[in-house]
Chains A and B, each alone.
Chain A
């Protein structure tokens, strides 16, 4: 009979360690979240603990402030734009890679993925330098929302591409062939058969791109001006100067926007599953 390790002491130590670690990690992740949520309901003007009076005062302040509401509006508009741009280009590109033969495929793949590995500072700097002062048809490009959307797409589009590439690989190509076989041309097949097959991938892509853009602030810092600044940018600029619970409210609003989208997507997803698998 081979030596059996002495049971008893070790598993208990491990169990305790595991529990302690679990507490630690849960606490670690939740601390900033809880702190922010708590502070957003603080009535006082200063950020300090303990919180003596609770109220929704700063929420009212946030929704009443044009500067902050504009920033929120900018953020959402830019996020929607980024989601649209990056999902469209990412999906089309991934389909091209899946369906067609492309010369120097690997090289193009690396090229498309490259921006993902660049720090936000570098990307923001590059775009700001290259497009600083450029205007198209009288409309100032630099400082515009559109430029930020495109800059954010530098990160979002490769992610969409990666996700959709993996998704396209999972579809049963015979179904696509069936569509061709019955007379559906490439364009019709794409819209009527392929896209519905990968609808979950597309929705996930839209969500990813939206969240990335909404939360991003380094590139936005370089590329926005006073009129187009996004909420995270405004928060960053206010950090040093005005440390009020309004910032906490802003954080909560930002997070709520993300969670609302997430919930909507989840509900849609569940409805989809129920429809097809009944």
Chain B
């Protein structure tokens, strides 16, 4: 019997303390300090990912990702599904194991630690509240696991619920809460333990639009107030742009670009980032000595300000940056196209245009007095155009 215990507890007394939930473990394993945020971080870089790799069979979900998150930063991982953003987050949280690389939290390696030994707290998409526990018990859970004394727990619960504006909800059960309230409890629960880093796993995607906007603003407010460190995963650009200190655009398991939101939006470094952020129109053309032709070989009435090298390329413009008719005349890049159909989008009209095999859309605040079938001039500035090969 003793031998069995010995084999199982090779690490020493810690696992046993685990089982018996003895005090003393808290000080040894958990660097988090129930008294405040800043004391829990001893270095300015809160999280470091070094060449992290994660495979699922033959698929490489996270492909050699390296990332530094500073204390107090709010970094968003933005990308389509399958881009590896959620996998990366789960690797940090400890829900999945690395296949290569390392993760350091607060200067110490954590990738060998199970989730319950890491000083992270996750806000899940569905909230993942414990259905059989009250709101107060949910919020208290993490603190109990860290053996925080009872009166401190009570204080922390009311603080946390107060912050998320759910005071008075202590005795309710999750089944009695609305979607937005559930997410706020989830937030309170994670905030209560004052972790070194908060991990958000698409927390707002299950909510409807107005609720999403509301909670988005709340999270931003909380971040400004409490200055916690966070990694936020989403596929919604609006969220990413509105809330983050930096945005990391991910594609196929790698970070394509990581910058301040404005930089990512205005100066995308790759075709993927350009097309993923904001709306864009793609004009696939072939540049020859004779002129510019579309995919079918027909010449197009495209006049560019700067000469392009010969060969195939893709020209990108954004609908919001295109000017029509009279406004187009003064611009260096122009195209003659026929109106295919017109969309009314409330604030503006979107004109869908065709020029040979090229299709694009241009936005305009009011009606331009032309209808379907009319040919009009479209123009844009050099800086509003990107060319990728």
Contacts and interface: CB of A to CB of B under 8 A. Distances in A.
A and B directly contacting (CB within 8 A) = yes
A205 to B, nearest CB: 18
Contact of A178 (B21, B114, B122, B176): B122
Interface size bracket, A side: 20 to 34
Contacts of B130: 175, 178-179, 193, 196
Contacts of B124: 174, 177-178
Given A187-B19, A276-B175, A277-B175, A180 B128 contact: no
Interface in A158-204: 172, 174-175, 177-189, 193, 196-197, 199
B371 to A, nearest CB: 50
Interface in B260-276: none
Contact of A184 (B30, B116, B120, B126): B116
Nearest to A275: B173
Contact of A185 (B19, B93, B126, B141): B19
Contact of B122 (A181, A184, A186): A181
A276 B18 CA distance: 30
Interface string B202-242: 00000000000000000000000000000000000000000
Contact of A172 (B21, B120, B126, B145): B126
B175 A278 contact: yes
Nearest to A196: B132
Nearest to B21: A188
B146 interface: yes
A231 to B, nearest CB: 37
B145 A188 contact: yes
Contact of B121 (A181, A187, A199): A181
A182 B173 contact: no
B145 A184 contact: yes
Given A174-B124, A275-B173, A277-B175, A182 B142 contact: yes
B358 interface: no
Interface residues of B, number: 32
A244 to B, nearest CB: 50
B131 A183 contact: no
A177 B362 CA distance: 47
B131 A276 contact: yes
A190 to B, nearest CB: 11
Contact of A183 (B95, B126, B175, B193): B193
A234 B126 CA distance: 56
Nearest to B126: A174
A183 B31 CA distance: 12
B189 interface: yes
Interface string B99-123: 0000000000000001111001110
A178 to B, nearest CB: 4
B140 to A, nearest CB: 10
A172 B128 CA distance: 8
Contacts of B30: 183
A196 B130 CA distance: 9
Contacts of A182: 116, 121, 141-142, 145, 189-190, 193
B91 to A, nearest CB: 13
Interface in A36-78: none
B94 interface: yes
B116 A180 contact: yes
A182 to B, nearest CB: 3
A270 to B, nearest CB: 16
Contacts of A276: 131-132, 173, 175
B55 to A, nearest CB: 16
A278 B174 CA distance: 10
Contacts of A278: 173, 175-176
Contact of B128 (A175, A184, A196, A277): A175
B131 A175 contact: yes
Interface centre among B131, B175, B189, B190 (most CB of A within 10 A): B131
B131 A197 contact: yes
B132 A180 contact: no
A185 B20 CA distance: 11
Contacts of B121: 181-182
A256 to B, nearest CB: 32
B231 to A, nearest CB: 14
B153 to A, nearest CB: 13
Nearest to B145: A183
A186 B176 CA distance: 28
Interface centre among B116, B120, B146 (most CB of A within 10 A): B116
Interface string A234-278: 000000000000000000000000000000000000000001111
Nearest to B199: A181
A185 B175 CA distance: 26
Listed from nearest, the 10 A-B pairs whose CB atoms lie closest are A183-B145, A182-B142, A180-B115, A178-B128, A174-B128, A196-B132, A185-B18, A180-B116, A181-B122, A175-B128
14 contacts: A174-B125, A175-B129, A177-B95, A178-B128, A181-B115, A181-B121, A182-B189, A182-B193, A183-B193, A184-B141, A184-B145, A188-B21, A276-B132, A276-B175
Interface of A: 172, 174-175, 177-189, 193, 196-197, 199, 275-278
Given A183-B116, A193-B130, A197-B132, 15 more contacts: A174-B125, A175-B130, A177-B93, A177-B128, A179-B116, A179-B130, A181-B95, A181-B115, A181-B116, A183-B30, A183-B117, A183-B145, A187-B19, A188-B145, A275-B173
